[in-house]
A and B are shown apart, each in its own frame.
Chain A
Amino acid sequence: MLTRRAAGKLIAGAAASTTLAGAGFRSALAANKVIKIGITLPLTGADAEGANRIKYGALLAIKQANDSNAVKGYTLVPVILNNATTTAGQYDPAQAATNARKLVADPEVMTAIGPEMSGDGKAMSAIYSEANIATITPASTNPDITNPKYASEYRPAHDHAAVYFRTVATDAYQGPYMANYYSDVLKVKTVYLLDDSGAYGVGLADAFEGQAKAKGMKVLGRDRLNPTEADYTVSLTKIKGLNPDGLYYGGVMGAGAKLVKQAYGILPTAMVKGGGDGLLAPEMLTAVGFPAAEGWYCTIAAPHLTQNPKVQPFVKLYESTYHTQPDDYAVTAYDAGLVITAALASLVNAGKPITRANVREAIQTSKTPTLQGVVSFDQNGDIVNKIISVFQVVKNTDYPLTDIIHQFKYIGTAPTS
């Protein structure tokens, strides 16, 4: 009884205050109209760390757009929704679907950034499609969602127009291109694979495996790491026993940090060790550090980031505003924000009305200069530029050992076949 009454009061209070506060916020910028941009990420639970970095990247882009009045006459307002629930302990596709519906129901929402997890994307895509809302994901890499084979499932409406855009290359590219790199550049003949049981890691390792076999590499074995487990010495010993030329890890830092740390004492230094863009994260330097991280390869779906003059100020600004360093996905999220800003600006400058259909179309046809280079999308929503850059952790004593820009050395681009 007590709880019901209190709950009722809570709803009433929250509703009233949200309206009041919203009105207050808006009245402060009375001159501008509002465009809402949804940001849907698993902000609590197991994936919270990475999700928050993505959020900051997106918010930074939106903030800069507002500060520079990039979209004249409009203020961009982020609507941040949490895709995670305690019930799941992490990302929750059901909550993601609810969030998508929430955004659809709000007429001021024109577009969105997110989700991070492909599992969420599978639940959200069709809902966005029905409403013709375009979303740009900075991190969801499962190819199925944009695969034309599944178009009737993931974009059933509006003639299968793409709504799930990506500023990151899918597993269909990252994995195989790295396999090419292993085979052609690093001359790896035998390889062992690991994944971290997550959708991203498994997909990435699967894609690598397929291409590795096609290139004639012998896959000596494959196993799965449990991210909640502490000790991977059993797997590492097994790998050592098989003595492959190279090891490839598909997954994020949850398991990755422990893997890299423990591999240092067990695997020979000569063995090629690498992973995907999940490894390009601050934990590689803070939790793992040197000498363990030295020599590990990782990839990023962008041309050589470090040479881009815009990157350094971005990293500095990001760090000073949010007190953490950006990772690869923070960059792609920022870039997503830039794409949206440019698309909206182009509509305003052309005098076209701001509608969901127009925004989607503008994003579809956009060519935006970003930190990654010029970003544009194909008719499925995938990023056109599929350059996979290869980095290696190399100790650079000129800079602090946790500097994410300078401790990852750019090596080159991965061969596309």
Chain B
Amino acid sequence: MSPTTLFVQQLINGLSLGGMYALLALGFTLIYGILELINFAHFSVFLVGSFIGMWTLEAFGLSGQNVIMTGLPLIGVLLAAFVVSMFSCGVLGVVIERYSLRPLRNVTGPMAMITTIGVSYILFNIILLGAGADTKNFPNPLPELRFHILGAVLDVRVLLIWVVSGSLMLGLWFFVQRSRLGKAMRATAQDPDAARMMGVDVDRVILIAFFAGSALAGAAGLIFGLYYNFTSYIIGYTAGLRAFTAAVLGGIGNVPGAMLGGLIIGLIESLGGQYVAVKWTDVIIFSILVLVLVFRPTGLLGTLAPQKS
């Protein structure tokens, strides 16, 4: 493999990694933008989404070893899986917000964040106890399609990730910037009391943000399974930390920032792995996290909401 091809291939790898992180970071950053809360539970919702996606696909008769579908049945099945995953995760997010976070909304300090750690533990342990610790084979209905660019291989799944992430991001962006509800969200993010006085039902807005963010996590979970063809109880952990770093890097609370951040982290992971060593990837990424938080906490693209004092 020529050095150019190698470089291009790692670039493509980085982009697909980045797409996954961006997708995960999107929902996370949406919730942070509204509540200024680091929601650890988000990444467990992602995990739940991938399992629900797997069970949905299995319910359609797809399981384990590759079953290739094409055309309408494929699209129908995928759509069903997306709808089920996103909706159930959205509901899960709403339940989490309503019962474990809303009571703590006015409490200062790290209490709410600690609660999300607890919720995250509860969720992934339920999966662990229920489904076991082993890696699960995820149904693979997608066709094997590869393109070649400069000698490097581009799998159709990479396109899938980017198409889906991109559309979700655009959709979210328009929603937040153009719709009334989006405006209400931005208002709530900037000053909940003022928003309330302007007639915004802050509680409802927050619930909707949680629904949307968690639905995005569910979508990310399903895409993860479709892309990697496996899932297990542990997927939320490392992917979560990287997605979190991506969100912070791009500008926490900032939707395009999550995409940009995801891209950069993905590229760092692939190019760092290639030209340094994979065993230092985590150290590199955490160092970036620390540096960004210390020297430029608003991230590359700035934050949606000004920092609480």
Contacts and interface: CB of A to CB of B under 8 A. Distances in A.
Interface of A: 45-46, 48-49, 197, 223-231, 233-235, 237-238, 240-241, 243, 253-254, 257-258, 261-262, 265-266, 283, 286-290, 401
A48 B133 contact: yes
B230 A228 contact: no
Interface residues of B, number: 39
B16 to A, nearest CB: 8
Nearest to B270: A234
Nearest to B237: A228
Nearest to A223: B278
Nearest to B155: A265
B306 interface: no
Contacts of B238: 226, 228-230
B287 interface: no
B185 to A, nearest CB: 31
Given A258-B228, A289-B64, A234 B6 contact: no
B135 interface: yes
Given A234-B270, A237-B10, A287-B134, A226 B228 contact: no
A241 B6 contact: yes
Contact of A289 (B16, B133, B137, B228): B137
A354 to B, nearest CB: 37
Nearest 8 A/B pairs, CB to CB:
A224-B279, A234-B273, A241-B6, A287-B135, A257-B135, A228-B238, A229-B238, A223-B278
B167 interface: no
B226 interface: no
Given A48-B133, A49-B132, A238-B274, A226 B13 contact: no
Interface in B148-162: 153, 155
B37 to A, nearest CB: 24
B278 A237 contact: no
B9 interface: yes
B135 A224 contact: no
Contact of A253 (B1, B135, B224, B239): B135
9 contacts: A197-B279, A229-B238, A234-B10, A237-B13, A237-B270, A238-B273, A253-B135, A261-B229, A265-B155
Contacts of A225: 278
Contacts of B97: none
Contacts of B273: 223, 234-235, 238
Contacts of A45: 133
Interface of B: 1, 3, 5-6, 9-10, 13-14, 16-17, 20, 64-65, 132-137, 153, 155, 224, 228-230, 234-235, 237-239, 269-270, 273-274, 277-279, 281-282
Contacts of B274: 234, 237-238, 241
A194 to B, nearest CB: 9
A258 B135 contact: yes
A288 B228 CA distance: 11
Given A231-B13, A234-B274, A266-B153, 17 more contacts: A223-B273, A226-B281, A233-B13, A234-B278, A234-B281, A237-B9, A237-B13, A238-B10, A238-B273, A241-B1, A253-B134, A253-B135, A257-B135, A261-B228, A286-B137, A287-B135, A287-B136
B277 A223 contact: yes
A132 B275 CA distance: 52
Contacts of B65: 289-290, 401
Contacts, number: 104
Nearest to B6: A241
B230 A261 contact: yes
B136 A224 contact: no
A49 B1 CA distance: 39
B230 A257 contact: yes
B228 A231 contact: yes
Contacts of A46: 133, 234
B10 A230 contact: no
A39 B234 CA distance: 27
Contacts of B224: 230
A262 B137 CA distance: 13
A379 B153 CA distance: 55
A165 to B, nearest CB: 28
Contacts of A286: 64, 134, 137
Contacts of A261: 228-230
B278 A287 contact: no
Contact of A283 (B10, B134, B234): B134
A235 B230 contact: no
A416 B238 CA distance: 40
From A231, A266, A287, residue with most partner B Cβ within 10 Å: A231
Given A225-B278, A265-B155, A289-B64, A258 B13 contact: no
A265 B224 CA distance: 17
Contacts of B64: 286, 289
A207 B273 CA distance: 24
A395 B5 CA distance: 33
Contacts of B5: 241
A223 B135 CA distance: 22
A228 B278 contact: no
A290 B238 CA distance: 27
A52 to B, nearest CB: 9
B43 to A, nearest CB: 12
A230 B132 contact: no
Given A49-B132, A229-B238, A287 B279 contact: no
Contact of B278 (A235, A240, A241, A243): A235
